[in-house]
Amino acid sequence: MANHTDPIRSRLAGLLPDLRAFARFLARDAALADDLVQEAVLRALRAESQWDPETSLRAWLFRILRNAFLEQVRRHGTERRALARMPAPDGPQPAAQEAQHAVSDLARALELLPLPQREALILVGAHGLSHEEAAAVCNVPIGTVKARVARARAALARGMVPVEQEEGAGHASA
């Protein structure tokens, strides 16, 4: 069995930056993201015999991390809603370069996207997963991932984010 688990343990460290980046987009908080990554790694190591070497280890780990995040959201729903309603602190901002403003604007625009669209865009656009891998991570059909990515890109290109919430895990409506 060592041959089956060695690839996970040897490749895990190289995937930590990607896991942390995905967790930061989901949690929007560095400390929570680190906790999510730690939880995902622990779960992966406990379930390493369940990983199929014929599949993407990266996608498998992203799915574990996503499931840990969704569990956390369900457990702490009330707390998260209260925190989301709190206004951002108004304070003096140091002089920033144009690129920093653009990144900050993009981060705010991404936060306004519905979670399913933001998640699909980050998996495909930022992490370079294929639509098929992203569909496996999100446990939805590949067409749903493609639709979510297209809607997210269109919203960002328009400079506005849709007010309506994304449909569930079912088929996308045009």
- For residue 73 the two structure tokens come to 């959201």
With a pLDDT cut of 90, the percent of the chain lying above it is 38
Quote the CA–CA distance of 3 and 94 in Å, as a whole number: 52
Q: Is the pLDDT of residue 74 over 90?
A: no
pLDDT band at 173 (very low <50, low <70, confident <90, very high): very low
* Shared domain check, 118 and 40: no
The confidence score (pLDDT) of residue 67 equals: 94
Residue 126 DSSP symbol: I
Say what the pLDDT of residue 96 is.
Answer: 52
What is the predicted pLDDT for the residue at 127? 85
Confidence of residue 131 (pLDDT cuts 50, 70, 90): very high
In this structure, are 13 and 67 located in the same domain?
yes
Residue 72 lies in a domain: yes
Q: For the chain, give the number of residues.
A: 174
Range of the domain at 153: 99-165+170-174
Residues 6+ apart with CB under 8 A from 173: 167
**91, part of any domain:** no
Phi, psi of 19 (to 5 degrees): -60, -40
Q: Write b or e for each residue in 146-170: b if 16 or more Cβ atoms lie within 10 A of its Cβ, otherwise e.
A: bbbbebbeebbeeeebeeeebeeee
Q: Reduce the DSSP state of residue 90 to 3 states and report it.
A: coil
Is residue 131, in this structure, part of any structural domain at all? yes
* 20 vs 65: CA distance, rounded Å: 9
Q: Give the CATH number of the domain where residue 77 resides.
A: 1.10.1740.10
Supply angle C-alpha 16, 21, 23, rounded to 5. Answer: 90
Asked, for residue 152, whether it belongs to a domain, the answer is yes
Q: What is the 3-state secondary structure of 101-146?
A: HHHHHHHHHHHHCCHHHHHHHHHHHHCCCCHHHHHHHHCCCHHHHH
What confidence tens digit (pLDDT) does each residue in 15-37 have?
999 999 999 989 888 999 999 99
Q: How far apart are CA 145 and CA 151, in angstroms?
A: 10
Residues 60, 3 share a domain: yes
The pLDDT, as a whole number, for residue 128 is: 86
Q: Which has more confidence, 61 or 127?
A: 61
CATH number of the domain to which 103 belongs: 1.10.10.10
* 111 shares a domain with 57: no
Check whether 174 has a pLDDT greater than 60. no
Structural domains in the chain (count): 2
Q: Which of 27, 60, 85 is the last residue of a domain?
A: 85
Q: What pLDDT, in 10s, does the model give residues 140-171?
A: 999 999 999 999 888 888 875 444 444 444 44
Average pLDDT over residues 98-123: 80
Q: What pTM, to 2 d.p., does this model score?
A: 0.56
Q: Which residue has the higher pLDDT, 87 or 146?
A: 146
Residue at 94 is within a domain: no
Give the Cα separation of 154 and 137 in Å (integer). Answer: 22
